[in-house]
Chains A and B, each alone.
Chain A
Amino acid sequence: MDFQPTEDQRDLRAGVRDLLAGRYGREALRASVDTGAPLDRALWRELGEAGFFALRLPESEGGVGLGLPEAVLVFEEAGRALVPGPLVATHLAAGVVPGAAAGAAVVTAFDLDGPLVTHLGEADAVLGVSGLPAGEPVRSVDPLTPLYRVAAPYGDGDCSAYRDEGALLTAALQLGSALRTVELAVRYAGEREQFGQPIGAFQAVKHLCARMLVRAEVARTAVYAAAVTGDAGEVAAAKLLADEAAVRGARDCLQVHGGMGFTWEADVHLHLKRAWVRAEQWRTAAQAQELLARELLVSAAPVGPVG
Chain B
Amino acid sequence: MDLTYTEEEQDFRTRLREWLAKTLPELPARPSPDDWPGRRAYDLGWQRRLYEAGYAGLHWPVDAGGRGATPTQHLIFLEETERAGAPYVGANFVGLLHAGPTIAAEGTAEQRARWLPPVLRGDEVWCQGFSEPDAGSDLASLRTRAVRDGEDYVITGSKIWTSHAEVADWCELLVRTDPAAPRHRGISWLAMPMDAPGVTVRPLRTLAGSAEFAEMFLDGVRVPVANRVGAENDGWRVTMVTLSFERGTAFVGEVVACRRTLGELARAAKANGRWDDPVLRRRLGRLHGEFGALWRLTQWNVSEAGRSAGGVPGIGGSVFKLAYSHARQELYDTAAEVLGAHSLSLEEEWTLDRLSSLSYTIAAGTSQIQRNIVAERILGLPKGR
Which chain A residues have a beta carbon within 8 Å of chain B's beta carbons?
1-6, 9, 69, 182, 186, 189-190, 197-198, 200-203, 205-207, 209-211, 213-214, 217-219, 221-222, 224-225, 227-229, 233-234, 236-238, 240-241, 286, 288-297, 299-307
B371 touches A206 (CB 8 A): yes
The docked-state distance in angstroms from the alpha carbon of A288 to that of B368 is 31
Chain B interface size, as a band, is 35 or more
A305 touches B285 (CB 8 A): no
Most A C-beta atoms less than 10 A away, residue of B10, B260, B374: B374
Q: Inside 8 A of A293's CB, which chain B residues have their CB?
A: 266, 281-282, 284-285, 288
A190 touches B293 (CB 8 A): no
28 pairs across A/B with beta carbons < 8 Å? A1-B3, A1-B72, A2-B307, A3-B302, A182-B379, A190-B380, A198-B382, A206-B376, A207-B372, A210-B322, A210-B375, A210-B379, A217-B319, A221-B293, A221-B296, A221-B297, A222-B289, A222-B292, A236-B289, A237-B292, A289-B282, A290-B278, A292-B285, A297-B267, A297-B270, A300-B263, A303-B83, A307-B3
B371 touches A210 (CB 8 A): yes
Task: Find A189's partner among B5, B372, B381 (CB 8 Å cutoff).
Answer: B381
B155 within 8 A of A: no
B299 touches A1 (CB 8 A): yes
**How many A-B contacts if CB must be within 8 Å?**
199
B306 within 8 A of A: yes
Supposing A200-B381, A218-B290 touch, asked if A296 and B285 sit within 8 A by C-beta, the answer is yes
B245-267 CB mask vs A (1 if < 8 Å, else 0) is: 00000000000100110110011
Q: Inside 8 A of A290's CB, which chain B residues have their CB?
A: 278, 281-282, 285
The docked-state distance in angstroms from the alpha carbon of A53 to that of B10 is 37
Which chain B residues have a beta carbon within 8 Å of chain A's beta carbons?
1-6, 9-10, 13, 72, 75-76, 79, 83, 256, 259-260, 262-263, 266-267, 270, 278, 281-286, 288-290, 292-297, 299-300, 302-304, 306-307, 316, 319, 322-323, 368, 370-372, 374-376, 378-385
Q: Inside 8 A of A198's CB, which chain B residues have their CB?
A: 381-382
**Closest Cβ–Cβ distance, residue B324 to chain A (whole Å):** 10
B266 touches A241 (CB 8 A): no
B297 touches A218 (CB 8 A): yes
The docked-state distance in angstroms from the alpha carbon of A5 to that of B2 is 8
Q: 8 closest Cβ contacts across the A-B interface? A: A237-B289, A293-B285, A201-B384, A307-B4, A289-B285, A292-B285, A206-B375, A289-B282
Task: Find A233's partner among B5, B278, B292 (CB 8 Å cutoff).
Answer: B292
Quick one: closest A residue to B279, CB to CB? A289
**Closest Cβ–Cβ distance, residue B21 to chain A (whole Å):** 15
A207-B375, A293-B281 known; 5 new pairs, CB 8 Å cut-off, are A201-B385, A290-B278, A292-B289, A293-B285, A303-B260
